[in-house]
Amino acid sequence: MRDASKLGLIGALKDLHTCEIVGWAMDSRMIQTLVADALRAAYWRNKPQPGLLHHSDRGSQYCSSAYCALQASYGMQTSMSRKGNCWDNAPMESFFGTLKTESLHHYRFATREQARQVVFEYIEVFYNRIRRHAKIGNQIPAKFAKQCYASDKIAA
């Protein structure tokens, strides 16, 4: 059996306002298509209005012309950390640490599909819909997002 770290990498995007993981993908390598797949998932899930601020670190996959073009096609504004500044990416680093601590470190996977299923259940079932987050007043991200974005539509 292999552990999760050898079965693939995860790319994810988090809504910093609601704490919800809005898009994610898995691949065997950290390449531009991994983060592009996560961005596509986030976009199709939420269909944000043009002008959304998309923040990432300066990893080569996020700086690629294809990824930047995808952001532009969705009307997103690109924001990146300054070189050598790790603090701007802290929410995602925290999420990946939490994913490992609360889920992945408790398993040994025989296949990549088993790992993908555990990641799916952690993100889509537990993290977004059950786990409470102190940053949003100990609320559940999916419920908080629904309330926030429903009130935004009413105000518009």
C-alpha pair distances (Å), 150 with each of 42, 44, 72, 143, 144: 18, 18, 26, 10, 10
pTM exceeds cut of 0.85 = yes
**% of the chain with per-residue pLDDT over 90:** 64
> In 1-51, which residue ranges form alpha helices assigned H by DSSP?
32-46
Q: What is the mean pLDDT of the chain?
A: 88
pLDDT tens, residue by residue, 93-118: 899 999 999 999 999 998 889 999 99
Give the CATH number for residue 93: 3.30.420.10
121 three-class SS: helix
Q: Which of 3-12, 24-33, 49-58 has the weakest average pLDDT?
A: 3-12
Report the number of distinct structural domains present in the chain: 1
- Structural domain including 121 reads 4-155
